[in-house]
Chains A and B, each alone.
Chain A
Amino acid sequence: MSPQIEEVGLSTTAERAAVVGAAGSTPDKDWVIVTRGLKREYDMGGEIVRALRGVDLAIRRNEYVAIMGPSGSGKSTFMNLVGCLDTPNAGEYWLSGQLVSTFKDDELARVRNKEIGFVFQTFNLLPRASALHNVELPLVYAGIGSAERKERAMEALTKVQLDNRASHRPNELSGGQRQRVAIARALVNRPAILLADEPTGNLDSTTSEEIMKVFETLANTGQTVIMVTHEPDIAQHARRVVVLRDGLIASDTKREAFSAKLVGL
């Protein structure tokens, strides 16, 4: 596996800037995500907090990337930007060839609906809706008719082996099952990226493994997966690990190299 370790060399700012390309230029089709000098600052009662200080990152289609970092590293802010829930103060964010950093509220809603599938730490299922209806939601906002919605939601539930729990409400499901419903919901509109925020944070280790296997399978079938986590043993399931520190990328490594480093620690 030594040739891949050669590719690890994205650890300097200059190298990363070279990969993401010049500001304003449309990225190559192969890149599903490109950020250029992404900055995000918050005004916390007069004090400016610089959560992201210029992040250059490019992610290819079909990649399985973990984003790590201690709390305060800016990883949550970065995830919100990547998930189009928030807009940067400066820099560019290209998603599937669109410069989404310039988009307004409702355009962002459309992008979230079409391009992004969210998986949250706390599942965020609607408690009073059945598993099937929860999975249907993105299709509701995509304006898809009831019959097709049900069919596609059922398909997605089958993918996570929960087709036999379709009519159950979240409180009638185990934690692992709930997260699988959430994954089905994230996948149902065939998004460009699956964006998972601490997906195993509320699960025990056995269930965590089970969920990580689901991500593994999805990544193997060509789904782009981006996972934000602070747990190294979860991150090591990904094939590439980006570490943020103080609002900047500290390292960007392929899995083998990352594992080696862990061993080295």
Chain B
Amino acid sequence: MRRISIAQLRENIEIAFDALRASKLRSGLTILGVVIGVSTVMTMATIVQGVRDQILNTIQVAGPTTFYVIKVFQTTPVNPDNLPKWIRIRPDISAEEADRIAALPQIEYAGIWAQIQLRLEYQGARTQSIAGFGSDERYQEIQGGELIAGRWFTKAELRGGAPVIVIQEAQALRIFGRIDPLGKTIVAGGRPVQVVGIYAPPANIFAPPGQEVGAVFPYQFVLHSYHIDKTNSLFICIKPKAGVSVADAMDAVTIEMRSIRKLRPADHDNFDLMSQSQILDTFTSITDIFFFVMLVLASVALMVGGIGVMAIMMVSVTARTREIGVRKALGATRRDIMLQFLIEAATLTGIGGLLGILVGLTAGRGVTYLMNINASTPIGLTLVAVAVSVAIGLVFGVLPARRAARMDPVEALRYE
């Protein structure tokens, strides 16, 4: 069998483009299925990629060395009202443990943080349910972002659990509008608190281990004023000293935690450590499932698109019976005709794929823009999308191409 030469390929692609130009509307409708399938995948991929980039970005901001001690590390939050026994017997994380860890020579910072959900209200204006952190004055050092007005908490406020709050700029704008929030008393989760500072988060929406943070309180205030889910939402945030590796710091913390809790060598740890890379792994495993579902859906769309291409190619072959007869008379072999129609189908779906990529990337960009995250182009997937589209043309083009190739030249030439 002869190989396909580049010249032959180019020749056939030219023929294909010519045929497509001859029937633009029909070609356009034909590739619609492929366009939709590919653009869906590309949109979703752009969004997922954007979110993933954002998480990596967050880790960069927080410093990739930050890690956490938590009661139990699970890929999905556990129901605090129905804990399995092995979790129920674990002690809650405590502020004393955080203090002990902070005193370790390897550790730069260790603080107990609690996350709660609440709404902020001021004179009838209120926010949606947002995440709030009970933390300390070094919150911003760990999470990034900047204080744009007011101040963080004083030592006294932290110790006494004073009802003060630093709120996020966007939330401040929502409930205060043009009023200066500093010094005002708002209702946060049903309790009056005084606004002492406004801060802007880093340019991303993901703050581990939760979502967008709208408010920060002194930890002691949160502990005493709100209900804390001590299984899922209470943890010690730890940052090792410069020059200390995360692994070394994690070892030191594990030893310290075991000694605080008086565990014997045979006992298992009754706490979990959670590093940034584990969080990323968790996220990746979720997005992988997401990708899989998306691929299944896209495959269905592409399948439908492929069948459309097959139907239209059948019509095209019939309509061009005369041309096929002429080509055969001039010396085209079955293989030549087969190749011509296969390449035509592949060109058709290939163009569909490219359009789908353009539409998908644009839509993905639009969505990520609205979500206020930066999305980079998923280049690998773009190449796969092109390859898959072309492959669909080749697969679904086989039947029509074979029909064309097997035409009897005498009858084809006589066809009106």
CB neighbors of B among A126-148 (8 A) = 126, 128-129, 137-138, 140-143, 145-146
Q: Which residues of B contact A185 (CB under 8 A)?
A: 330
Task: Tell yes or no: A112 within 8 A of B by CB.
Answer: yes
Q: Which residues of B contact A138 (CB under 8 A)?
A: 330-331
Contact B330 A85 (CB under 8 A): no
**Stretch of A57-65, A102-110, A172-180, A216-224 lying at the B interface:** A102-110
Give Cα A228–Cα B321 distance, bound, in whole angstroms: 23
Task: Tell yes or no: A71 within 8 A of B by CB.
Answer: no
Contact A137/B333 with A85-B413, A124-B413, A126-B323 known, Cβ cut-off 8 Å? no
Contact A128 B22 (CB under 8 A): yes
CB neighbors of A among B400-416 (8 A) = 408-410, 413
Give Cα A143–Cα B332 distance, bound, in whole angstroms: 10
Number of residues of chain A lying within 8 A (CB) of chain B: 27
Give Cα A128–Cα B14 distance, bound, in whole angstroms: 12
CB neighbors of A among B13-61 (8 A) = 18, 22
Q: Which residues of B contact A129 (CB under 8 A)?
A: 18
Contact B334 A145 (CB under 8 A): no
Contact A109 B323 (CB under 8 A): no
Contact of A141 among B18, B333, B409 (CB under 8 A): B333
Give Cα A118–Cα B413 distance, bound, in whole angstroms: 12
Contact A112 B18 (CB under 8 A): no
Contact B329 A118 (CB under 8 A): yes
Q: Which residues of A contact B409 (CB under 8 A)?
A: 85-86
- Closest chain A residue to B18 by CB distance? A128
Give Cα A212–Cα B327 distance, bound, in whole angstroms: 25
Contact B11 A85 (CB under 8 A): no
Contact A85 B410 (CB under 8 A): yes
Contact A109 B326 (CB under 8 A): no
Interface residues on B, range: 20 to 34
Q: Which residues of A contact B8 (CB under 8 A)?
A: 143
Contact A140 B413 (CB under 8 A): no
Give Cα A114–Cα B408 distance, bound, in whole angstroms: 19
- Closest chain B residue to A123 by CB distance? B326
Contact of B330 among A86, A105, A118, A146 (CB under 8 A): A118
Contact A106/B322 with A85-B410, A146-B7 known, Cβ cut-off 8 Å? no
Contact B413 A145 (CB under 8 A): no
Task: Tell yes or no: A259 within 8 A of B by CB.
Answer: no
CB neighbors of B among A157-178 (8 A) = none
Task: Tell yes or no: B328 within 8 A of A by CB.
Answer: yes
Contact A106 B410 (CB under 8 A): no
Task: Tell yes or no: B335 within 8 A of A by CB.
Answer: yes
A67-110 CB contact bits vs B (8 Å, 1 = yes)?
Answer: 00000000000001001011000000000000000000110011
Contact B326 A112 (CB under 8 A): no
Give Cα A197–Cα B159 distance, bound, in whole angstroms: 106
Task: Tell yes or no: B269 within 8 A of A by CB.
Answer: no
Task: Tell yes or no: B336 within 8 A of A by CB.
Answer: yes
**16 interchain pairs, CB-CB under 8 A:** A80-B410, A83-B329, A85-B409, A85-B410, A106-B335, A109-B328, A109-B332, A109-B334, A113-B330, A118-B330, A124-B326, A124-B413, A126-B323, A128-B22, A143-B5, A143-B8
